[in-house]
Structure 1
Amino acid sequence: MGATGDELEEVLGRFLQRRNRVRLYGGMLTQAPDGVDKSNYPVLSGLERLGPRTAAQLALEVGLDRSRVSRHADRFEELGLLRRVPDPLDGRGSLLVLTAEGEAAVRDLRGALAQHLDQVIQDWPDGLADALVEGLGRLMDRE
């Protein structure tokens, strides 16, 4: 018999807890540029996945409040990882955009996370990791 909705809900609930994201990011972030840590990495990662966004838009997507995203963006701008450009839809606002250095940092960090995950799943039975990827993909693609 397959997993039930109750079982899936329980496992996803644990998976989505902040402490589990932090645990997964732990090894990856040891290779992060100075100034990138577990609290602000979602800003960089979110910008790379979503493209240019206002701080308010990005905050909604990554689950942080707007003021926190703005503070992280200020720091990343100082570090040369992102820049602000005028928002073509709102002359009063600006969009957060990764610089080439910011894009490279995210690419490197994602590569490190992928290597860590490869180590985590290396002892799993054949097909289990593939089934997890397929199942999560189906869950995320469902409207």
Structure 2
Amino acid sequence: MAKDEGRAVYEAIRQIARWSNRPDTRAALLGRAGQDFSAVDVDLLRAVVSSGPVRISDLAHWQGVDKSTMSLQVRRLEQRDLIRRRPDPADQRAVLLTATAKGRRTCERMDVLGTEVIAQAFDDWPEDDRRALAALLGRFAADLTSSSPRLRATAPD
């Protein structure tokens, strides 16, 4: 029986992923603040904002990519003045990434828009259903990520 529910949830996630990657949906979710961002850019900025200061190696581990790949991805955010590198006071050979004020504002604007889009999608649902969805979806996301590498012991938003 769990296989049937697993299939139903899997299909729902696929539909949500397809919906969220449509250009018109991405524009609504991210607004002008994130219109030119790749999905990786958005995730990395959110990770640095929520977990920074953070090492590039930690981000690479969290994303499951090589450190050199992560350096290229980080550079895009640096060029937009969304994050900056600074020496790690505990290890001068290492670098820490922190979000700039512009990066934090950009992330906040994207999150406000995304929250509004999702809230509107189920605005006519009964309050109990909205709360149940939020609780169950949060629990499901936590369970999915609990066995994955974590950034600073928490999964980025």
State TM-score, norm by structure 2.
0.71
99-108 or 121-130: bigger deviation? 121-130
AA partner of residue 101 (structure 1): K
Partner of 1:15: 13
AA partner of residue 105 (structure 1): T
AA partner of residue 127 (structure 1): D
Identity of aligned residues (%): 28
Q: Distance in 1 between matches of 2:70 and 2:20?
A: 18
AA partner of residue 106 (structure 2): A
Partner of 1:28: 29
1:6 aligns with 2:3: yes
Shift in alpha-carbon separation, 1:116–1:61, aligned structure 2, 3 A: same
What CA RMSD, in Å, does the superposition of the two structures yield over aligned residues?
3.0
Q: Distance in 1 between matches of 2:121 and 2:63?
A: 25
Deviations 1:63-102 (A, max 9, x none): 5553333212112112111100112333222011101110
Partner of 2:55: 54
1:95 aligns with 2:96: yes
Shift in alpha-carbon separation, 1:133–1:33, aligned structure 2, 3 A: closer
Higher RCO (CA < 8 A, seq sep 6+): 2
Considering fraction of residues, name the structure with more helix: 2
Partner of 1:70: 71
| Deviation (angstroms), 1:59 | 2.4
Q: Secondary structure at the match of 2:33?
A: coil
Partner of 2:151: none
Shift in alpha-carbon separation, 1:100–1:15, aligned structure 2, 3 A: same
**Aligned residue-pair number:** 140
State TM-score, norm by structure 1.
0.76
Gaps of 5+ in 2: 147-157
Shift in alpha-carbon separation, 1:83–1:45, aligned structure 2, 3 A: same
Gaps of 5+ in 1: none
